[in-house]
Structure formats: structure tokens, C-alpha cells
Structure 1
Amino acid sequence: MKNGEIKYEKFYHILKKKIVCGLLADGSRLPSRAEMCREFCTSEKTVRRVLEMLAAEGLVETRQRKRPMVTFDAAASHKRGLLSLQKADETAAADIFKTGILICYPVISYGISLCSDEGWAIPESLLEKMDPEQPKEFWRLSNQFWRFFVSRSENELILRAVDSLGLSELDPLPGTLQIREDYYEGLKKLTQVMKCGGDLNSVHFADLSSLYGFVTDEKQRGLFCRVASDSPLRLGRKELQRRISSAEEQYSRVYLDLLGLIAIGRYKPGDRLPSHEELRRAYGVSVDTTMKAVQLLKAWGIVTATRGKGIFVAMDLEAMSKIYIEPELIARHIRRYLDSLQMLSLTIEGVAAHAAAQVTAEEACSLCDSLEDVWNHAYLYQLSPVILLEFLVAHIQYDALQTIYEVILKNYHIGRSIPKLISHKKNRNNYEIHKQCLEAARILTKGDSVCFARKASEMFQHTNQLIITECKRLEYWEAAVQVYDGSVLWK
């Protein structure tokens, strides 16, 4: 069951990505089921299951005695969204622009720092193709130029979050030739400064917001900019949530979370776990999914389950620590966790400064009390970073930014589900992390938001490095980085 589950997940994601990105064109035929069985070294049952999932999403069409046919047109899908253009919502657009600054600037700076001599080939080739005399193509290539540095992080979550903002969907007004030429010279100068390791802030650009229509019309009190009808710039938070959300492996998410709750002592030997119906409601999955998760926990000897009586914890923490779990079974969750930690460590300083500006002295003191309480009286595992992150998310003022950080917060909780990664006992590393969180909170009580943000950033960066080191020690790292090839995002 374990290997079959892994093969079905990998197989599904590989085919879906090829279809959505256009590598498998609309109307093309997939290989036969027998050929796919051989290619992926899997059973016909697994192939059939994956095809059913793709068909349910409208990506393929299956018929008896015929090879599956792709029914998704990637290019047409994008064009359909642009056909029905509507006026951007002023509040949503302003919110997303401010979010874009806080997210994109540190990410782009990081992407630039990763570029070696050979790494500049792609952005330089984009610059060479930019012709100020051809405005439409000029601005399209400009978007690609900046997006390259975002994708250079090789982090799927970061790229999805930035793309989900919808800023790249905007078609700017042509502007004057002089504006385009000045901007082009600025890009060339910036590239030279970046290649030499200079200060990015030394290169200045004119304000181009008017080209994107983000200026207030005195008569209409609105925005000139028109966007696709389903753009976050029009629909705001709801559409952004839909775009940034990714499919989760429900089966493994259930057993991993239960495993984590047992590991931190939330459930002890002899305790009764929630019923299948309660698990179904809690995780938003089918009973079939919860049954598969519990079957795997039974196979490991962690729980017992008897019809009519319930599911009970059967193994203590010492015995659980000796269980070997194949890294491939949890690789996708670990990769999502690591991607979230990296995005957090890159963007948290600006976000923390923004959130801190909204915090009262009373709230800062309350944060200190909460941190002390979870360490001294209610310790289950290292919760101090979670408490701090929850506090920051609650004080973010931009809807788009809060939506992105709610995803990061949700993914941060994956850590407790990864076997042996999080210790339920206090140790030197846990104490150091708690101390850094508390120091940051005490700085906040004095009203110094800049120093607070810097201290919080240092703590999350430190935590990120500790987690990476521990994943390598537990031999999770290799399986996690192989979940997807990050270099494909920019190459």
C-alpha cells in the first residue's frame, strides 16, 4: 500500500503539471495504460485511479479501447480569462500592490544573490530582446525579467504566491517612447550593479504606476485599470485564496497529523482517538481516506481499531521513536514545510515591521505572557515560534498579505506531524528559540517595531537552518528535494 500510494501521487502530479503547463497539448493522446504502467513501474489499478482523478478535473477524457485524450488547452484557458475584462477594485488593487512590495522585494533580492556568472544568461537574453519601439512585447519581457528572479529561489510556494497576486496579468499602457527608453537604461544599469554585487537601492526608476492604470480619476473616483473578471485585483481575498491553495495529499496528511498529535503527548497510550466520522469532518476528507490512514497506523502498531469500540493509541513514545518510516511517505509534506519556512525567513522582517505598527503596548505585553505560559506551564513542544507567528498574522492589515501568511502558518504546523523532527522535551535549541521569541516580544513592548522585526527575522532564519540540519540528519532531505526539480521553475 505504501509504495502504491507514493507512485499514484507522483504519477498524478507529473501528468497534471505536464497538461496544465501545455507540455501535453489539448487534443493529444496520452500513452496507453500498458505503456504508462511500464514507464512508471506501477499497476493498471494505479494508472486507472490517476486517470479518473484527471478526468474529474476536466483535464483528460477517457473512453473504452481508446487512449486517454487531453481536454485542457493551457493557452486558451489564459485567453478566456482575459476576454471578459472588468474594472479593478480600487481597495483590492491597492491591497495587492502593497502586499507585492513586502513579498516580492526580499524574494527578488534573494534570487539576485543566487545568480552566478552563468546565471545571468537568461535575464541578459531577455534584456537583449526588449525593444522600446515595441511597447507590448517590451512590457511583457519586463515582467519575465523580474519573474526570473522570483523563480530563481526554486521554491514552488513562493512562485505560486507571487503569481497568485495577479500583477503579471496586467497589460500596461504603452507610455511614451522616452519612458520606455529611460526604464530600459535603468534595467541595464541595475543588471550591471547586481552582477558586481552592488547596492540595488543605488538605481532609481521613475514611478510607472500610471501606466498600469493605478491612478485615481478625480471625476469617477475609480481606477482606469481593467483586469480579467476572475482576477484577485477585482475579487480580492477570495480569489487569492483559491489561487494560492494547492492540492494536498489527504491520506498522508491525516495519518501524519495523528502521528504528530500522539508524538507530542496530546493522545497517550489507551486514549481513544476521534471516530472516522469525526476525522472526516475535522480534515475535510472521505471516510475511505481516514480508514486508509488508520490502517497504516495499525500496521505500524501505533493504534488498535475495533469495529463498534473505536480507535485507541497502543504505543508509547519510546516505542514510537524506534519506528522507521520511509522518507518517501512524507516527502511531499516535508517539502511544503521547508518551502514555507524559506518563504517565511525571506519575507518576515518587512511583514513583522508592518504588523508591529498596529500593535498596542497592552497587546505586546500579552504576547510576552503567552510565550512565558507555553514554555513554563503548558509545554507540549516548541510552540513559541507558532505563538509569535499567529500574533503577527492577526495584526497584518493587508488582506492579500494575511491570506499568504495564513497559508504559511498552516504549513508551519506540518512540523509537528513529521516523525522525530520536533522534540516534545525541552532542550538547548528549543530554549534558544524561545529566548529569541521572548526577546523580540519584549522589544515590541517598548514600541521599537524595526528592532522587533529584525529580531523576529533572526529567530525564524535560525529556526529554518535548524530544521534543515535536522531533516538531513533524519535522512528526509534527499526525498524532500526530489519531490520537484526547483531549477525547472526558472530554466
Structure 2
Amino acid sequence: MRQNLHQYEYLYRSLVTQFECGAYPEGKTMPSQQQLCRQYNVGITTIRRVMKMLENNGYIHTAAGRPAVSAYRTAAESCIAALLERRDGVNDAFCGLGILLPALYREGASLCREPEFTIMRDAIDGIAGPMELSALYQQANLFFRAVLKPFHNLLIQDLELDAESYLHVPYIPYPGVNDPSYHAESRVKAWLETALNRILRKEYDAFYDSILDFYGKTQSTIDGYLEELSRVVPTPAPQKTDIRWFRIKGHSELYIRLAMSILRRIAGGEFEGKKYLPSIPRLMEEYGLMKETVCRSIALLNMLGIAETKAKKGTILVTGEIQGSIASASFDFSDPLLQQRLALCMDAIQIMALSAGICAKSFTPVTEEWLHSAEEKLSSASLHSLNPRSVQLLMDYMIQFAPCHSLSNIYYQLNELILWGYYLYAVDASYYAPQEKLQFLMHDVVKALREKDTSALPSALENAFLQIYRDIYSVIAQLPCGTDFLPIPI
């Protein structure tokens, strides 16, 4: 199980990377603490802690009543080397986000109404005369955030913020190397006006194609710039670091996440025909966690009635259907923290329902081994366990066969958030809609994969994820907590 950095650690590392890549040369004024709060979706306490760390390590100077100023002094060659280390990662991030975000923008555009159109017009009107590049970016970002606003999905908003951060490559002045980020204000304004007109005319496919083209051209320009830099500075070894997406998700105690992960494996059929769960030492090794954390997770599964630990024997799986076996009193669905976790699960599934079909057009073919395993798992699933098993198979497909690492990594992290849906095992099985329709839709997915039918696969995936989203939404709608904390129904 991947252990998340604390928010302040993540933010500190992110800013240090920007210093080392030349985004904040010596003497440059830093964004205000309020601006950093908005940019990184964190509180003022976190920002102050990070700024103190930056000051202590010599990256910035601070003075009461004045904005922080960069104190980072390094040769241009060092900044270029740091940028070139990121080259493969930047290209990979462009690939992944260039597949996923245009799909979300297209769907968001179809939901926009006058409030969003007003924000878009204001963003366009805000582009006037000579502007700082950062101000120009800000206006463009306001436009695109408005396109995503109708979803009421915090993960989508966070992904868009991540894109701004990870795809940004600062210009480092160097003889003979041109600035790749130069965009005349008139060109940006004209592009956004055309985009808005396409949305107003409901030409969503044309809008989608224009964004795809934009991502492709921008990636080509940035890589051309990095290629120019590589000719003047020796290229270092590529730096391979998984990007942490979805900063807004916050953190939860590891033992709860581990319990949900084990519950997901049980529901997915991994332990069918087995009497015992893996031993505590085995789980410690698998997840890289301390004994105390694993023991607390097992105790939680015992409390929920999923397992029973017997002295000197191990942890026995309780037989029968899991769904509905947990006492409803175990969870208070009016608890804001539990609602936040369920909202993250639904945000993640909504992203998949909105984008999986379009994204899958770029995927690599499945292996025969994977397909055979998927068919076996579906055929052995009861109707009660079909929903979680379908989710796991679909997410496993998206993770394994995505065309680039960054997209696979995004799906992996979405899958980690879907874990929180397993709280719904506390709900009686009668709350769930009949699963025959999902069974039929999953058959369509497997058939399209088996026959390598690239024309049928996108709609099959979209329909399956949509059905899963609607089924879970329907369950939550029947609970006393209601659905106000969830993203919009689709």
C-alpha cells in the first residue's frame, strides 16, 4: 500500500523542484500565502509551515509585511539539468492528461449553462493589452475551470490544478534558446472565443478536437524547447518519480485504508475457497506496514463481522455473502468524515464514467491471460457481489492497459479512492438494484475485448461505469444522509 506524504511534505518537494528547475530565480517574488493556498488546495497553516522550511533551507528570504523573495542562487546550467531530468516525465504527463482531460472538458461543456458562460466571457474579457505570462495563464485557467464546474467534482477540479502544475515548464534564459511559452494575447483570446462559440453552438466534438490539438502542439513545442536545451547542457539520467495526483483527497488512518483494501480483495473473489486470511506477518510484508497497523485492521474486520480471529489459528473468513452482513449500526452515514470518503469514491467513479469510453480508444490490447482471468471472475460472481467485482475488473483493465505511465498512475490513485465505497457493505442488500443489467453490460465489455472490437469497446466501458455509478448513487440516496455531498447524478 502506497503511503502518502503529508500535505506539507508534498508541497515542500513540489516547490523545491520548481526552484531547482528555474521557476523562481534569485530575487523573484513568490506568490502570496493566500495565492499558494488557492493553488494547492491547502490551509494557511500548511503554507506557513512550508514557507518556514523553505526559509530554513535557504530557498527564500522573508520579512514581516513583505512577500517572500527567492534566495535560490544557481547557474542556469544547473536549472537546465534539473529540467532535462523531468523531460520524460513531462512528456508522459502530457500524454496521460492529453487523453483524460479533453474527455472531461467535452463532457463538462455539454453541461455548462449561463453561470458558466458568464465566467468564460469574463475570463476572455480579462485578456487585454500586454500581459504578464502568469496573468495570461490565469485567465485561460479561469475559462477551463468554468468548463469543469458543472460536475461539482472536487477530484476533477484538483486534477485540473495538478495539470497546471506538472505541465508547466519555466523558460530559462540561455543564449540561442527561444522561449517556448510565448503566446500573443490576441491569439489566446481568439482561441478561447472560438472555444466558447463552439460550446454555445453545442459543437462539442469540435471543441474536443481543438483541445486535443492544443495538447499535441503544446507538448511538441515544450519538447522542442527541451531538445534545444539538451544541445547546450549534457543530458542527465531521467528522473523517475510517480506524480501524486488529487491533492485534495487528504489523508486517513492507514489501518482503515488497509481494512478497506482487504475487504475489496474479499469482495473481488481473491479468497474464494480459502478459509483464512493471510497471516499478519504476510500482510505486513505485502503492504509494507507495521504490525500494529495490520492488527488494528484485522480488529476492524472482526468488528464488522467479516472475519473472526482465533488464538493460535489465524483469522477465519466469515462464510456467506459479505454484502449486508455488516451491522448497519457500525457506521454513521451522517458523519461528515464518512460522507467525505464516500464523496471521494463517487468523484472517482464519476471520472471513470465520464471518460473511460473516450480514453479507451488509445489503450493497448489485453492479454489472453488477463481476459481469461476476468471471464472466470465474472462467471463465479453472484449477483450480490457483481458490482464490486465489476469495478475491480474495469479498474484493473484501465490501470494495466493504459498507453502511458502517468494515465495508469492516475487510474491507480482513483482506484485507491474507490476503496471508500466499501463502507456501503454496511447497507442491507435490499438497498441495491438488481444486478442483471450490470451483468449484461459487463458481458458486452468482455465480448468487445475478446473480439478486439475497438468500435464497440468505448460505449461498452462507458455504459458499465455509468451503471455502477448510478447503482451506488441510488443506494446512497436511500440513506438518511441524502446525496447533497455527492457530485451530480449522470
Mean Cα deviation higher: 287-296 or 458-467:
287-296
Partner of residue 376, structure 1: 379
Give CA-to-partner distance per residue, 1:113-138, whole Å, 9 cap, x none: 33321233333222222124225222
Partner of residue 95, structure 1: 92
Q: 1:442 aligns with which of 429, 440, 447?
A: 447
Question: Contact 1:332 / 1:480 at 8 angstroms: preserved in 2?
Answer: yes
1:214 equivalent to 2:221? Answer yes
Partner of residue 256, structure 2: 252
Give CA-to-partner distance per residue, 1:141-193, whole Å, 9 cap, x none: 2233224434553323233334334455345748778x531331231232244
Amino acid at match of 2:111: L
- Secondary structure in 1 aligned to 2:377? helix
Partner of residue 403, structure 1: 409
Match runs of 1:333-482 below 5 Å: 333-355=341-363, 358-359=364-365, 363=367, 369-377=372-380, 381-382=385-386, 383-416=389-422, 418-420=424-426, 429-475=434-480, 477-478=482-483, 481=486
- Secondary structure in 1 aligned to 2:151? coil
Cα distance between partner residues in 1 of 2:204 and 2:271: 53
Cα distance between partner residues in 2 of 1:115 and 1:256: 36
Match runs of 1:50-129 below 5 Å: 84=79, 86-88=82-84, 89-129=86-126
Partner of residue 169, structure 1: 168
Give CA-to-partner distance per residue, 1:332-369, whole Å, 9 cap, x none: 432222111011111101221111xx327xx4x66654
- Secondary structure in 1 aligned to 2:403? coil
Q: 2:332 aligns with which of 320, 326, 331?
A: 326
Match runs of 1:193-208 below 5 Å: 193-199=198-204, 201=206
Distance 1:139 1:410, change over 3 A: closer
Distance 1:332 1:288, change over 3 A: farther
Structure 1 residue 250 displacement after superposition = 1.8
Partner of residue 154, structure 2: 156
Distance 1:291 1:455, change over 3 A: closer
Question: Contact 1:102 / 1:351 at 8 angstroms: preserved in 2?
Answer: yes
Amino acid at match of 1:238: T
Cα distance between partner residues in 1 of 2:400 and 2:39: 38
Question: Contact 2:257 / 2:419 at 8 angstroms: preserved in 1?
Answer: no
Question: Contact 2:269 / 2:377 at 8 angstroms: preserved in 1?
Answer: no
Question: Contact 1:194 / 1:200 at 8 angstroms: preserved in 2?
Answer: no
Cα distance between partner residues in 2 of 1:212 and 1:423: 48
Structure 1 residue 221 displacement after superposition = 8.4
Identity of aligned residues (%): 14
Task: State how many pairs are aligned.
Answer: 411
Partner of residue 143, structure 1: 141
Amino acid at match of 2:156: I
- Secondary structure in 2 aligned to 1:374? helix
Cα distance between partner residues in 2 of 1:79 and 1:198: 49
Partner of residue 11, structure 1: none
Distance 1:240 1:162, change over 3 A: farther
Question: Contact 2:325 / 2:428 at 8 angstroms: preserved in 1?
Answer: no
Amino acid at match of 1:94: N
Structure 1 residue 105 displacement after superposition = 0.8
Question: Contact 1:416 / 1:422 at 8 angstroms: preserved in 2?
Answer: no
Cα distance between partner residues in 1 of 2:446 and 2:305: 42
Cα distance between partner residues in 2 of 1:265 and 1:431: 19
Cα distance between partner residues in 1 of 2:394 and 2:400: 10
Partner of residue 57, structure 2: none
Question: Contact 1:87 / 1:224 at 8 angstroms: preserved in 2?
Answer: no
1:240 equivalent to 2:248? Answer no
Give CA-to-partner distance per residue, 1:249-298, whole Å, 9 cap, x none: 32322444455667788779x95555555444444444444454455555
Amino acid at match of 2:168: E
Question: Contact 2:180 / 2:222 at 8 angstroms: preserved in 1?
Answer: no
Give CA-to-partner distance per residue, 1:433-490, whole Å, 9 cap, x none: 2322222332344443132112211211122111111222244654854xxxx89xxx
What's the TM-score once normalised by structure 1's chain length? 0.65
Give the unaligned 5+ runs of structure 1: 1-15, 29-53, 60-74, 226-233
Cα distance between partner residues in 1 of 2:155 and 2:46: 27
Amino acid at match of 1:161: L
Partner of residue 26, structure 2: none
Structure 1 residue 246 displacement after superposition = 5.4
Cα distance between partner residues in 1 of 2:37 and 2:284: 28
Amino acid at match of 1:409: N
- Secondary structure in 2 aligned to 1:214? helix
Amino acid at match of 1:335: A
Partner of residue 3, structure 2: none
Partner of residue 7, structure 2: none
Question: Contact 1:302 / 1:313 at 8 angstroms: preserved in 2?
Answer: yes
Cα distance between partner residues in 2 of 1:386 and 1:116: 35
Question: Contact 2:39 / 2:161 at 8 angstroms: preserved in 1?
Answer: no
- Secondary structure in 2 aligned to 1:238? coil
Give CA-to-partner distance per residue, 1:188-241, whole Å, 9 cap, x none: 232244245444616969869777772665xx981559xxxxxxxx96762414
Cα distance between partner residues in 2 of 1:377 and 1:301: 23
